Amino acid sequence: MAEEMWNYSTAIDPNTVRQTGCFTTLPVRINNRDDIANAASSRVLKDWAEHTGNQDIDTNRVSFSPVGSFCSLIYCETIPERLDSISYLTDLFFLIDDATEEVENDEVAQNEWAGFSGAMTDSLGETSQRDHDLASMKKKKLVARVMLDFMRLDSALGLDLVKSCKAGWTPLAAGVEWKTMEDYLHFRRHSAGLDIYWTKTVFGLGEKLSDDEEKLIRPLVWAAEKAAMLNNDYWSWDIEYFQANEKIENLTNAVAVLMKKDGISAQEGKDRIRDLILGYEAEYLRLRAQFYDNHPSARLYLRKRVELAGSMAAGVSFWSANSPRYHLPTKQARPTAIDIEASVAKADDMPQPSFAPSTVSTDSDDSMDATSGNGTDITSQDSHSEEPAKHSKFDVPKLGQTAINEPINYVSGMPSKGVRSSLIDAMNQWCQVPSSQLAVIKRVIDLLHTSSLILDDIQDDSPLRRGKTAAHLVFGNAQSINSATFLYVRVVQEVQATGNPALMMVLLEELEDLHVGQSWDLYWKYNMKWPTEDEYFSMVDLKTGGLFRMLVRMMQALSPRSSTESVCDALVSMVSRFFQVRDDYMNLNSHDYSNQKGWCEDLDEGKFSYLIIHCLENSPGFRDRIMGLFRQRNGSSGPMPTAAKVQIIEYLQEAGSFEACWKLLNNLEDEIESEIRRLEDVTGEENPQIHLLLKLLSVKNTKPSKGAVFVPVGV
């Protein structure tokens, strides 16, 4: 059984482990391709220096150690072809973690992390809280490139990893007090990124457990995790205490927790942490034995995951006991820029640990979201924010803007999907618009999109927006319309303040197209006339494409690079159509979408989406039935009856409309990918962020539902 379980790693002699000072009682294993992990560490150091401009990097900050790479020890069974990407991302997180810890306060540190996490924005995440400055975009490009590697190696598990990275790491907790060690460990699990660790582990193994299997082994995994976290705190304590000048107030470390809670010395705290580590290792071993007794026929992969929990804890212990990262004050070991190049050049010549096997070389609403994910009031981000009420010469108080801003703030405070923010960053890889000018474009697009969200919900009788009650149902139609149109005043003020007539021309031209496109969408719905597919795409090019085209054209107008002139027309049309058709598809085919906008909301609106048009055009036998159900709905204020929705979806399934829509989206995705590659050749600038964004929005793994129609509980 052991020979079948361990395919890519070798056990390390326990005597060798103990001779280094490591006291773990668990078996340590190392990946057979430690050379791959070390090469990734060398590359990330070089890339970090290039992208951040920071040449003063301590090589001890990454995974190197005399006993093997950190990643070789904790990802011991990772498939060799996936070890490079996992090691690179792990070391990138090491450097990001250090960057957040070195800044002067928590707020700045959180912004530093947000600058990196913005590259991992997906359709379910938040927008970045940082400005779109060029330095930040270089860092995001670095993160996006490695995330794209994951998606290309394994699209499904890669997407899981991107989502985990987006949601699963809290870098700092300075000054927080924990009443118990268990409370601290629950926090520490999140700050240590253990959800990310396990997602990377699964990616490296190429296989997932079922949810039931994950729950089954959770107790023993938690015991191993506690041992691993405390090992990290134990071995890093001396250097953290030294760097904090022996002040424990802001240290996030289990030793400091005990010192503050129990009033003991640092050495007493370390001794007690050591005892806790050994206790948690014993707990893991006990629970592991119990698991095998209770589940003697557990499948091989499940047993392997049980063993990997222990080898992870042992690997953390062994590496932490020997890593220069935890045994030398970094300020005493910082190389010069020349030293960095030398260390990277020598990395391939690093001696392998004596216990490592020899290695052999081998060839190897997803439309543009306008709001800030942190709930920031976008109306207060410009020079026209509300001032305190003033008094006229007749001593009559001037009314403020509270009432007009309420619907705006309500919508802008909703969680954003982040697509628009990621798109801005991606496009600016080519345009290189300075951050101060890009901020103006961002505000214009934000304001216009917020306006369109409010108006669209009124025109479509939508009850929900991003899972919350639509603004017009909270503030009334009249007030919501007034607030939405007021945003056009703000937009004109923003553009006029730039003194750039080209921006004003772009604004007016694209606003005209946007409204013409919307007029046809409303006309077809009100008059119960369905468009042809060509007419539908013409409408999409105007309506959905208007805001996207405005963004790109404004960036082109402010770009210092002439090569960006080739960016606009083809890419805008392709992306606009992809976004709109994808929205149509997900509206009728996605359970998650139902939670945000309501179940099959397009049918409530009587909307002629791409799927409806395809069915009406290609299946005449269903025309009278679908149009009859639409006529019954037309003019009513409530949702379409559930039975009618189920009936229409069944017609769409029988007509092959879901399949046709899915194939169209796949073709559009391929065309966009080709156009991106063409633009990369024209501009001479690779753009991993836009490739990553496209991968995250892909529906290639979201095939049409078949069989009985899914109806959410409570509908």
What is the residue-wise DSSP string for 576-619? Answer: HHHHHHHHHHHHHH-HHHHHHH-TTHHHHHT---HHHHHHHHH-
Is the torsion defined by CA of 256, 262, 268, 271 positive or negative? negative
Contacts of 394 (CB under 8 A, 6+ apart): none
Using the CB atoms, write b or e for 667-693: b if 16+ within 10 Å.
ebbebbbebbeebbeebebbbbbbbbb
Q: Which two tokens stand for residue 106?
A: 């928590």
Q: Are 269 and 259 within 8 A, CB to CB? A: yes
pLDDT given at position 249: 84
The token duo for 458 is: 């009124």
What per-residue confidence (pLDDT) applies to 112? 52
Tokens encoding 389 = 């009420």
Percent of the chain whose predicted confidence (pLDDT) is above 90: 55
Question: Tokens in use for 648?
Answer: 């229409």
| Residues ≥6 apart with Cβ < 8 Å to 43 | 88, 344
Q: What's residue 140's pLDDT?
A: 77
Least confident of 307-321, 573-587, 624-638: 624-638
Provide the pLDDT for residue 589.
Answer: 86
CB atoms within 10 A of CB 561: 15
CB-facing half-sphere around the CA of 313: CA atoms within 13 A: 30
Q: What per-residue confidence (pLDDT) applies to 419?
A: 79
Residue 11: the pLDDT is 97
Q: Which of 306-320, 539-553, 623-637 has the lowest mean pLDDT?
A: 623-637
What tokens appear for 199 in the block? 């997602």
Distance, CA of 100 to CA of 120 (rounded, Å): 17
Domains contained in the chain, CATH given: 2-349 (1.10.600.10), 416-697 (1.10.600.10)
Q: Worst-scoring range by mean pLDDT, 131-145, 496-510, 560-574?
A: 131-145
What gap in Å lies between CA 511 and CA 455, rounded to an integer? 14
Q: What are residue 154's DSSP bridge partners?
A: none
Mean pLDDT computed over 309-314: 98
Task: Provide the 10 A C-beta neighbour count for residue 496.
Answer: 13
* Poorest-pLDDT segment among 36-50, 552-566, 645-659: 552-566
- What distance in Å separates the CA atoms of residue 228 and residue 218, rounded to the nearest whole number? 15
Phi, psi of 482 (to 5 degrees): -60, -45
CA-CA distance, 222 to 546, in Å (whole number)? 51
What secondary structure letter does DSSP report for 468?
E
Beta strands 29-31 and 464-465 are unpaired
Residue 526: CA count within 13 A, CB half-sphere = 8
Determine the Cα angle at 301 with ends 299 and 307, to 5°.
Answer: 105
pLDDT at position 59 is 84
In tens, the pLDDT along 552-583 reads 999 999 988 876 666 667 888 899 999 999 99
Sign of the dihedral defined by the CA atoms of residues 111, 113, 116, 121, in that order: negative
Which three-class secondary structure state does DSSP give residue 334?
coil
Ranges of H-type helices in 331-476: 337-346, 402-412, 419-431, 435-459, 471-475
What predicted TM-score, i.e. pTM, was given to this entire model? 0.75
Q: pLDDT band at residue 221, thresholds of 50, 70 and 90?
A: very high
The answer to whether 13 and 29 are in contact (CB under 8 A) is no
| Residue 201 half-sphere exposure toward CB, CA atoms < 13 A | 22
Identify the pLDDT of residue 314.
98
Q: Bin 245: left if φ > 0, else alpha if -120 < ψ < 50, else beta.
A: left
**Which amino acid is present at 165?**
C
Structure tokens at 7: 């395919």
Q: Which residues of 258-278 are buried (b: 16+ CB within 10 A; e: fewer)?
A: bbeeeeeebeebbebbeebbe
Report which of 426, 681, 411 is spatially closest to residue 555, judged by C-alpha positions. Answer: 426
Alpha-carbon distances, residue 45 vs 67, 214, 688 (angstroms):
20, 35, 19
CB neighbour list of residue 220: distance below 8 Å, 6 or more residues apart: 284, 287, 288, 291, 306, 309
Q: Which residues pair with 29 in a beta bridge?
A: 11
Q: Report which listed range, 149-153, 271-275, 706-710, is most confident.
A: 271-275
**pLDDT at position 93, please?**
85
Residue 584 predicted with pLDDT over 90: yes
Instruction: Round to whole Å and give the CA distance between 236 and 253.
Output: 9
pLDDT at position 327 is 76
